[in-house]
Amino acid sequence: MSDMAQTEKQKMLSQQWFNPRDPELGSARARAKKLCRELNDCTPEAFKASQKIASQLFGKVQGCYIEPDFYCDYGFNIELGPRFYANHHCVMLDAAPIRIGADVMLGPAVQLYTVTHPLDAALRQSGIEQAKPIIIGNRVWIGGGAIVLPGVEIGDDAVIAAGSIVTKNVAAATMVRGNPARPVRSLHNLPPLPTQLD
């Protein structure tokens, strides 16, 4: 299919430059914003209702607990594994897929950005964007205020320290910290937890 024949949504999904002002994409974002509002309005007691809204919002979800307020661009590009948890004020800009494994925890104000803009100012003024996927493995913990940038993959059992800006892939069972985030320790062979608290 030639570039001329593709819709802006098709360009977005194939990681080409696309125009987010396209009416089809605008409608998709409006739908996601409506569902985000409904999800954010759910009380903790309305767990079943929140799961129904989440199943409408996300491309794939297998049980989640998301504290308000949560925001995303499209929703259909987000896949959440079992027992996903996000603390307050998380943002996922999902013009490209965001795939998250099982037992992942996000601290407050974690932000996942798949979208980037042209460095050239004239092109940037045109409004075009490009998006690259974010892939997060199983049992990952991302600390509060961390930002994950486009195209990053985070391996199983990794830990992202609070406030980090993740610009590169993170190996499995590794803790990273800082801006830009760098490995600070391996999480292999950690000492066992005490069997009881003193």
Q: Phi and psi of 114, rounded to 5°?
A: -90, -10
Q: What is the pLDDT of residue 45?
A: 85
Residue 18 forms part of a structural domain: yes
Does 113 fall in a domain?
yes
Q: Percent of the chain scored above 70 by pLDDT?
A: 96
Instruction: Answer whether residue 179 is part of any domain.
Output: no
CB count in 10 Å sphere of residue 122 = 7
Mean pLDDT of the chain: 95
Cβ–Cβ under 8 Å, residues 92 and 76: no
Give the catalytic positions in this structure. Answer: 117
Q: Which domain holds residue 102?
A: 3-174
Tell me if 47 is assigned to some domain: yes
> Using one digit for the tens of pLDDT, what is the confidence trace for 110-128?
999 999 999 999 999 999 9
Read off the pLDDT of each residue in 32-57 and give the average, rounded to a whole number. 94
Residue 129 tokens, joined: 């964007």
Residue 197 has pLDDT above 70, yes or no: no
What is residue 44's predicted lDDT score, i.e. its pLDDT?
82
**pLDDT tens digit sequence for 130-183:** 999 999 999 999 999 999 999 999 999 999 999 999 999 999 999 999 999 999
Structurally, how many domains does the chain consist of?
A: 1
42 in a structural domain: yes
CA distances from 153 to 99, 137, 150, 158 (A): 10, 8, 9, 11
Give the pLDDT confidence score for residue 184 in this predicted structure: 95
Residue 125, domain member (yes or no) = yes
| CATH number, domain containing residue 24 | 2.160.10.10
Give CA–CA dist 73/140, Å, rounded.
23
In a domain, 81, yes or no: yes
Q: Would residue 184 count as lying in a domain?
A: no
